[in-house]
Amino acid sequence: MEKLKAISLFCGCGGADLGLTGGFTYLGKWYPSTGINVIHSSDIDAKAVKTYNSNFKHEAHTADVHDLVFKRYSADIVMGGFPCQSFSTVNPTKRPEDKKNQLFWQLARVVEQVYPKVFIGENVKGFYTLKNGFYFHLAKEEFERIGYRVYHRLVNASDFGVPQKRERLIIIGVRKSVKNNFSFPDPSHGNGKYSKAVLKQVIDSLEPENPKYYFSKRAVEGVKKAKPNMKRALAQNLDDQCLTITSHLAKVSLNSRDPVLLVDREKELYRRFTPREAARIQSFPDNFMFDGSEGDAYRQIGNAVPPVMMWHQARALVRQIFK
């Protein structure tokens, strides 16, 4: 079979694209090529695009999705993990009712222009649940209007070998003229199959090489003064999956719901994850490099789609729709 062609919108640093194309190793397992080639990738974040271009042979471009036109493009797949801040349950300034924050309209516009056999959308759980699913159904109706059968599922990355409890909405659209239906892949880990990946598999040592990752004594004292009913200093169990990591990893606080590591209980030593540890938690292979400052890396990692999770969805698509 000839290589399938894909367009990637909102590509960020490339987590979803790495999963879409395959050809990488994570936790000693080889994830082979899916047979998909990315022919266009773009994002508005220039720093994320720089990271992308350090890790892929094909080049991504810095662009605002509103300015993109694809009338002369031919592709089998259009993918877009449209930005989700307006639908995040932890964002107090969200304004989902503002149409310019509803970037699924731009994904739909490109899908209508290219008219691929398949599109892939990804977003936070809040996009599915907010206002009783109002925004999700708005998007679903638009994709159906332009000619697609829409399949959706809340997928937990930990069910697919990622050491993180990260639940995301995956939307798959199959052009109505395509006879094959799509079924989401069953979990590859847990339920008597492979054991779920756990945090200790990606943490080489609790004690960091650089002491800058420790929280200050002042921060620890602040946590001790917090009300007992408030969830604070969420030290992660190394024998379990990590809680969801976010784009503000550089500003992780003990006085929040951010996952952290407890190095020494008696000495009250807590620390944040290093960028490489955070990347591993997201299932990036160790040879994936992040450009820019540590703050840039943390943001790119936290915003990314776990490559391993996306690889399983892409492989199912190829086997079911393009066989």
Q: Say which CATH number the domain at 167 has.
A: 3.40.50.150
Report pLDDT for 85: 55
Report pLDDT for 89: 46
Q: Mean pLDDT across the stretch 69-97?
A: 72
Q: Would you place residue 71 in the very low, low, confident or very high pLDDT band (cuts 50, 70, 90)?
A: confident
Q: Is the pLDDT of residue 75 over 70?
A: yes
Q: Is the pLDDT of residue 261 over 50?
A: yes
Segments forming the whole domain that contains residue 26: 4-189+305-321
17 and 98 inside one domain = yes
Residue 157 has which token pair? 């990355």
The answer to whether residue 88 is domain-embedded is: yes
Distance between CA atoms of residues 183 and 180, nearest Å: 10
Helix axes 46-53, 294-303, angle to 10 degrees: 90
Give the position of tokens 């936290």: 302
The H or E element spanning position 145 is helix 134-145
Q: Is the pLDDT of residue 87 over 50?
A: no
The answer to whether residue 254 is domain-embedded is: yes
Residue 71 has which token pair? 């009338």
90 and 180 inside one domain = yes
pLDDT digits (tens, 9 = 90+) for 99-136: 556 799 999 999 999 999 999 999 999 999 988 899 99
Distance between CA atoms of residues 178 and 254, nearest Å: 50
Specify whether 13 is catalytic: no
Q: Mean pLDDT across the stretch 259-278?
A: 95
Residue 104 has which token pair? 């699924």
130 and 203 inside one domain = no
138 and 175 inside one domain = yes
Residue 308 has which token pair? 């391993």
Give the position of tokens 């807590």: 270
pLDDT digits (tens, 9 = 90+) for 206-251: 999 999 999 999 999 888 877 665 667 889 999 999 999 998 888 8
pLDDT digits (tens, 9 = 90+) for 148-199: 999 999 999 999 999 999 999 999 999 999 999 999 999 999 987 789 999 9
- Which one is catalytic: 11, 13, 84, 242? 84
For the chain, the domain total comes to 2
Q: Would you place residue 279 in the very low, low, confident or very high pLDDT band (cuts 50, 70, 90)?
A: very high
Q: Is the pLDDT of residue 39 over 90?
A: yes
Report pLDDT for 229: 57
CA 301 → CA 138, 297, 307, distances in Å? 29, 6, 11
239 and 313 inside one domain = no
